[in-house]
Structure 1
Amino acid sequence: MAGDLLHLTVLGSATPYADVDNPCSGYLVSHGGTRVWVDAGSGTLAQLQRHARLDELDAIWISHLHADHTADLLTAYYGALYADVRLAAPIPLYGPPGIADRLAHFLTNGTVRSPLESAFDVRELHDGHRARVGRLTLTSRAVAHGIPAFALRVAAGDRSLVYSGDTAPCANLTGLAEDCDVLLCEADSARQPADGDQVHHTPEDAGDTAAAARAGRLIVTHVGRSLTPEQAVARAATRFDGPVVHAAPGAVFSIG
């Protein structure tokens, strides 16, 4: 039945800044009446409103604190408190350690701290963090991005979606993605860095991670501007035998 499916809606997948027709990283994961906004890059709040109001969200989950994954939390704060939105309670906000102070630093312009907690019920992630949101189970693992960063597994019954966030290939991501139905994986870098200081997946890495995890399907996202989506898909497909597609803005994927 359609209500039993997991749905992934791509709000945006651009990096490191929004394109004319593609916001930065942001996704809506839904199952039945449960809605989770995953990453809040520039421009994604506007696209979110095609599907859900802020006061219809059950949670927000943030992978790391770079602006192309968080910037729209600032405008979401104003929307939640000072516009036409009426929250029954602050929105649960799952994010890396320090997320509350980082947001408050940007929002506060004076001696009195902005009432961040009136809009967001902040819950800091840690490696192995698990939360129940409606009928969804959210499991987070720490990944390798040079700053505190997390990948996410969303499970509804026997259906599962794993989102890499931004990370170099790492055991935590591969383990989290084991036997998942869909792996939503970044393919930012065009090539491996010469100095070995890698903090992103290449398309080939995305294919390798999907293959190692035995994912059912690979969706490449966060494709760097030196690549076209078609190039990223083709290169990932050289390492993974399953279906590979691009997270095109506005695309909706049903999982189940």
Structure 2
Amino acid sequence: MTSELLSFTVLGSATPYPSVDNPCSGYLVSGAGARVWVDAGTGTLAELQRHVRLDELDAIWISHLHADHSADLLTAYYGALYADIQLAAPIPLYGPPGIADRLANFLTNTSTRSPVESAFAIEELHDGHRARVGALTLTSRAVSHGMPAFGLRVEAEDRSLVYSGDTAPCPALTSLADGCDVLLCEAESAQVPDSGEQVHHTPEDTGDTARAAQAGKLIVTHVGRFLTPQQAVARASARFDGPIDYAAPGATFPVA
């Protein structure tokens, strides 16, 4: 594993379903010996194992329960309990309210509840939730996605990474990202649901949020299929004049 004080590896960044070379949303955040799987979208468990086994994780953090951010928790459950993994204790899992029952309902087809707590020590997120994972501090804020959803700030000493999850522009995310070294922010597209409610960032919104938060660097992710990564970066750069990159699958970014 990396010896960087704080870094993250992109396990996948596709939406709303994986492409042949890019799983859905998932990141391995590493720092000072701690390893956190942030979002478990479709296909990310396979990529995770290039870097760390399930029984070597220190925690899992899930932004919201759409499948492109959480579906691989289902196969992780089987991997943790019924294969070659021997857990010393259930893996700490931080996720939105109701995550335990959602998993249990997916994993059973009988009247007996699936024992998800055997694999995961589940703690529900709330606005302002804080957790300590090794030397990492994880702070979660409720964001605007039309369902319970959270953004994440990871801090290690004087370094900070903020991940938007899925959200429309909102004051909570801007506040969470205030002065961060790296903002990993979705840039879905200009499209919104038929209701007219905006639940994602456009690339321009991504640039605006990075500028308002005075982020040191912007990395765009979760780019919709109507855009290329290059288009998303170019559009975000019209609103943010700091360094910008794209969360390419397999890439590792130091937070400095």
Query: What's the TM-score, normalizing by structure 1?
Result: 0.97
Deviation of the 1:5 alpha carbon: 2.1
Report the CA distance shift for 1:239/1:192 in structure 2 as closer, same or farther (over 3 A). farther
Q: Distance in 1 between matches of 2:178 and 2:59?
A: 24
Aligned length: 255
CA contact (8 A) 2:12 2:250 kept: yes
Aligned position for 1:255:
255
Deviation, 1:32, is: 2.5
Deviation at 1:195, TM superposition (A): 6.2
What residue is the counterpart of 2:211 in the other structure?
A: 211
Give me the whole-angstrom Cα distance separating, in 2, the residues matched to 1:118 and 1:136. 25
The aligned residue for residue 77 of structure 1 is 77
The residue type paired with residue 97 of structure 1 is: P
Cα distance in 2, alignment partners of residues 195 and 29 from structure 1: 35
- Which moves more between the two structures, 39-48 or 109-118? 109-118
- Following TM superposition, by how much is the alpha carbon of 1:190 offset from its aligned partner in structure 2, in angstroms? 2.8
1:89 is matched with which residue?
A: 89
In structure 1, the partner of 2:234 is 234
**Shift in Å at residue 113 of structure 1?**
1.1
- Alignment partners' CA distance in 2, 1:55 and 1:194: 42
Distance 1:239 1:193 in 2: 24
How far the C-alpha of 1:196 sits from its partner, in A, is 4.3
Mark the runs of 5 or more structure 1 residues left unpaired by the alignment. Answer: none
Structure 1 residue 189: Cα displacement: 1.6
| Structure 1 range deviating more: 49-58 or 104-113 | 104-113
Give the gaps of 5 or more residues in structure 2. Answer: none
Secondary structure of 2:230 counterpart: helix
Partner of 2:225: 225
AA in 2 matched with 1:129: H
- Write the distance in 2 (CA, Å) between the matches of 1:29 and 1:195: 35
What is the CA deviation profile of residues 204-234 of structure 1, one whole-angstrom value per residue up to 9, with x for unaligned ones? 0000000000000000000000000000000
2: CA distance, partners of 1:156 / 1:41: 25
State TM-score, norm by structure 2. Answer: 0.97
- Letter in structure 2 aligned against 1:19: S
Cα-Cα RMSD: 1.2
After superposing on structure 2, the runs of 4+ consecutive aligned residues of structure 1 that deviate more than 3 Å are 191-196
Shift of 1:115: 1.3
**Alpha-carbon spacing, 1:145–1:12, altered in 2? closer, same or farther (3 Å):** same
State percent identity of aligned pairs.
78
Question: Over residues 110-148 of structure 1, what are the superposed CA-to-partner deviations in whole Å (9 max), with x where a residue is unaligned?
Answer: 121111100000000000000000000000000000000
Q: Aligned with 2:3: secondary structure?
A: helix
